[in-house]
């Protein structure tokens, strides 16, 4: 797409696990005031009662949101939404103008969210805070009110979303202009892990058009630093 650099492209905001589009409220409001058309997505399985949703359902849904934008949009993927946007880009790399990963990155072929999930598990509830932080998801910058709202509104991740392997075919997805907004880890550390082929970051090293932005905070910057995150997204989108 030959977009005019002075235009404000549509921005599609995709939350990570346990979250709906509501998680982006503060970021979306600031981006809208800056002149962007913004759509915050609630993926299948992120509303109460949708325990049968699959990863393929989420990829289908996001692809539909992307396709109905007036021009190829900028897609912002937080955390586990990196798997979903990777699936969309694999189908049609030209559908997205730029992808912005927020404390996230592209997923690898054959990857799963939870390798050890047993067949009797129907969904994955939001873990205790200590388990999240032990797994590397920093709570830095979140108030007690933030945590209470998160706990109250979190929706369990359907087991089928966690179990389904991501099947990829087209390496052209690796050439889509990409920005990583690094929040939990400095970008320098993240790139070092990528070069070492760390499973969580290995695909980052394969991106051919990558911009890095550091925004030091925790894993949920849409609550801990919403204005700064919105400004970083807006700058990358332009």
Whether residue 2 lies inside any domain: the answer is no
Residue 3, domain member (yes or no): no
In a domain, residue 72? The reply is: yes
Which helix (H) or strand (E) segment holds residue 193: the answer is: helix 187-195
For residues 144-177, one letter each, b for 16 or more C-beta atoms within 10 angstroms of the residue's C-beta and e for the rest, the string is eebeeebeeebbbbbbbbbbbebebeeeebbebb
What local confidence, expressed as pLDDT, does residue 116 receive? 66
pLDDT at 115: 62
Number of domains in the chain: 1
Residue 174 counted as domain residue: yes
How confident is the prediction for the chain on average, in pLDDT? 93
* Measured distance CA(155)–CA(174) in Å, rounded: 31
CA quadruple 196, 182, 90, 24: dihedral sign? positive
CB 96 within 8 A of CB 66: yes
Structural domain contains residue 38: yes
Query: For the chain, what percent of residues have pLDDT higher than 70?
Result: 96
Nearest to 229 by CA among 183, 188, 176: 183
Q: Which domain holds residue 134?
A: 11-237
CATH of the domain at 136: 3.40.50.1820
138-184: per-residue pLDDT in tens? Answer: 999 999 999 999 999 999 999 999 999 999 999 999 999 999 999 99
130 within some domain: yes
Count H helices, E strands: the chain?
Answer: 9, 8
Q: Is residue 64 part of a domain?
A: yes
Is residue 5 in a domain? Answer: no
Average pLDDT rounded to a whole number, residues 101-120: 86
Determine if the pTM surpasses 0.85: yes
């Amino acid at each position: 797409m030959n977009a005019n650099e002075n235009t404000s492209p549509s921005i599609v905001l995709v939350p990570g696990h346990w979250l709906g589009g509501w998680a982006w409220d503060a970021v979306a409001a600031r981006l809208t005031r800056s002149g962007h058309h913004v759509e915050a997505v609630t993926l299948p399985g992120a509303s109460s009662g949708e325990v049968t949703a699959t990863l393929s359902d989420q990829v289908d849904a996001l692809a539909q949101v992307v396709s109905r934008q007036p021009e190829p949009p900028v897609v912002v993927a937080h955390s586990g939404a990196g798997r979903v946007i990777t699936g969309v880009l694999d189908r049609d790399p030209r559908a997205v103008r730029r992808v912005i990963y927020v404390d996230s990155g592209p997923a690898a072929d054959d990857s799963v969210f939870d390798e050890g999930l047993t067949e009797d598990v129907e969904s994955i509830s939001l873990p205790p805070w200590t388990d999240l932080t032990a797994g590397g998801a920093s709570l830095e910058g979140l108030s007690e009110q933030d945590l209470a709202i998160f706990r109250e509104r979190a929706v369990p991740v359907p087991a089928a979303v966690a179990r389904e392997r991501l099947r990829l075919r087209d390496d052209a997805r690796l050439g889509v202009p990409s920005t990583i907004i690094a929040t939990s880890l400095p970008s320098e550390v993240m790139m070092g892990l990528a070069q070492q082929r760390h499973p969580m970051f290995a695909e980052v090293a394969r991106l051919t058009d990558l911009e890095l932005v550091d925004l030091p905070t925790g894993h949920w910057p849409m609550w801990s630093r919403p204005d700064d995150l919105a400004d970083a997204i807006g700058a990358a989108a332009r």
